[in-house]
Amino acid sequence: MNPINEAAGHMNQGGTGDAVIDIENLRVAFGGREVLRGARLTVERGGPTVLVGRSGSGKTTLLRALNRLNEYLPGCDTSGSVRLRLGGGWLDAYAPGLRPEELRRRVGMVFQSPNPLPVSIGRNITMPLELALRLPAPERAQRAEQALREAGLWDEVRDRLDQPAAALSGGQQQRLCLARALACRPEVLLLDEPTASLDYKAARGVEELLLELSATFTLVVVSHSLNQARRLAKRLHVLREGGLVETVDPGVLADSGGLLALMDEVL
């Protein structure tokens, strides 16, 4: 049985409407220090869904809990419920028998700073497909081209796939990392401040790309920029210290002062 389907058997079917992610009473601590306590959040299909909040409010920790990347950090202790609707069925992200690697293939992530592999542009896409998915060479090449097209990068690199990825500009490197995630055919994409290290022009290019991708993928974006949140957010959630989450109308972004005050309120 497929690990995703097997994991789904550990829980009751649930969820309503277009919900894709359902978090209940999520607690995450590192070395005994709580970062999230009792976090609750529902994310609907599509998006982008944008998470904003003060530094230290737990945005990145919440994002990493969705595909269990927090487990790479020492002293991590996670409890509560994290459910995702993948492949048409609901599963428990922390169910026994579910391999984190399989979950991360279905729930991809792009990080704050571009992190291309120290290989060629083309191998950045095909290497994970070869090592993790064991795909034959023709399918790897097909998926690589498709992903690079989806990331808006194909026309810029099609004639230099054998060149080092490090030769790309910062914006191109970030789109390459996005293409690498897309090549694994995820259903959900997590983006942790994906334009924080880019200049304004490159950042706007990535933002426009994310809006296009939201028609196909469910996007959850952490952003420190209220201007960026204003441009991206179809749905908006405010995190406060300890992971208290409030869903607000994206229209509140028109009043930056009011939103900043909202971030500091205590529920």
- Delimit the domains of the chain by residue range: 3-115+186-264
Residues 206-223 have a mean pLDDT of 94
Q: Counting Cβ atoms within 10 Å, is residue 135 exposed (0-12), middle (13-18) or buried (19+)?
A: middle
Q: What is the pLDDT of residue 174?
A: 94
Q: What is the pLDDT of residue 3?
A: 41
Look over the chain and give the mean of its residue pLDDT values, rounded to a whole number.
89
Q: What is the pLDDT of residue 255?
A: 75
> 6 pLDDT exceeds 90?
no
> 137 pLDDT exceeds 50?
yes
Q: What is the pLDDT of residue 242?
A: 73
- What are 41-96's pLDDT values in tens digits? 999 999 999 999 888 899 999 999 999 999 999 999 999 999 999 988 999 999 99
Banded model confidence at residue 235, pLDDT cuts 50, 70, 90? very high
pLDDT higher for 15 or 52? 52
Q: What is d(CA 115, CA 185) in angstroms, rounded to the nearest whole number?
A: 19
Banded model confidence at residue 225, pLDDT cuts 50, 70, 90? confident
Q: Is the peptide bond before 138 cis (omega within 30 degrees of 0)?
A: no
> 17 pLDDT exceeds 70?
no
Q: What is the pLDDT of residue 201?
A: 92
> 11 pLDDT exceeds 50?
no
Q: What is d(CA 32, CA 200) in angstroms, rounded to the nearest whole number?
A: 39
Contacts of 41 (CB under 8 A, 6+ apart): 21, 22, 23, 26, 62, 237, 245
Q: What is the pLDDT of residue 34?
A: 94
> 97 pLDDT exceeds 70?
yes
0.85 cut: is pTM over it?
yes
> 16 pLDDT exceeds 60?
no
Concatenate the DSSP letters of all residues of the chain into one string: --HHHHHHTTS-----TTEEEEEEEEEEEETTEEEEEEEEEEEESSS-EEEEE-TTSSHHHHHHHTTTGGGGSTTEEEEEEEEEEETTEEEETT-TT--HHHHHHHEEEE-SS----SSBHHHHHHHHHHHTT---HHHHHHHHHHHHHHTT-HHHHTT-TTSBGGGS-HHHHHHHHHHHHHHT--SEEEEESTTTTS-HHHHHHHHHHHHHHTTTSEEEEE-S-HHHHHHH-SEEEEEETBTEEEEE-GGGGG-HHHHHHHHH---
- What are 106-131's pLDDT values in tens digits? 999 999 999 999 999 999 999 999 99
Q: What is the pLDDT of residue 250?
A: 85
Q: What is d(CA 122, CA 142) in angstroms, rounded to the nearest whole number?
A: 11
Residues 22-27 have a mean pLDDT of 96
| CATH superfamily of the 3-115+186-264 domain | P-loop containing nucleotide triphosphate hydrolases (3.40.50.300)
The CB-based long-range contact list for 255-261 (8 Å cut-off, 24+ gap) reads 256/226, 259/52, 259/226, 260/226
Q: What is d(CA 242, CA 262) in angstroms, rounded to the nearest whole number?
A: 15
Q: What is d(CA 133, CA 136) in angstroms, rounded to the nearest whole number?
A: 9
Q: What is the pLDDT of residue 192?
A: 96
Residues 148-160 have a mean pLDDT of 96
Q: What is the pLDDT of residue 261?
A: 72
